[in-house]
Amino acid sequence: MMSITKLDMPERKNIVLLAADIWGMCLMTVREILPEKGTVLTVQPLILFQMPNSISLSPKKMQLKKYTVEKTESEWKQQLSSDEYRILRQKGTEYPHTGEFNLHFEQGSYHCKACNAKLFESQNKFESGCGWPSFDQAVEGAIEYIRDTSYGMIRTETVCANCGGHLGHVFNDGPRETTGQRYCINSLSIGFDPS
């Protein structure tokens, strides 16, 4: 099965991204119109990954989901700092290598900053060099996976299954000797409980 999608980038009107979803594999090509050179077509995969079969990719279903912890946006703004709100509720990202838990390797567990649900164990944390806290496995049932097509990419977003707070993304470039997954998580979306 194959589907091709044109991805708009309003901030760069001279670039057209074409994404082809071929049997769960995502390939992207770029067509850039340069005034001095004309149209340049790059025919190479920019992103290539396979979606796990167990992940639901229906954005409409995800938007309608009811979470155990639900609050109004006003209540979230009162509870969270402005940066935490931007990341957890507006799907923001902190700058790489700036987060409190990027190079944090104490024993304990990591929980959702919005609702305190346990998300990750310290034994699953590793140094990936990407600039964000990285884990190769989440606590079972703690994470919800959503197809994310923002910014001209196709990725898998991770949100807290208890409150729907945005955590980061999961990629298939983690340690091969364990799960092969890399949960790339914003420090501002999590807290730490020492064991």
Beta carbons of 2 and 20 less than 8 angstroms apart: yes
Q: How far apart are the first and last CA of the chain?
A: 47
Residues annotated as catalytic (active site), given as ranges = 184
Beta carbons of 108 and 78 less than 8 angstroms apart: no
Q: Partners of 26 in the beta sheet? A: 21
What's the Cα-to-Cα distance from 61 to each of 58, 68, 71, 147, rounded to whole Å? 5, 16, 19, 11
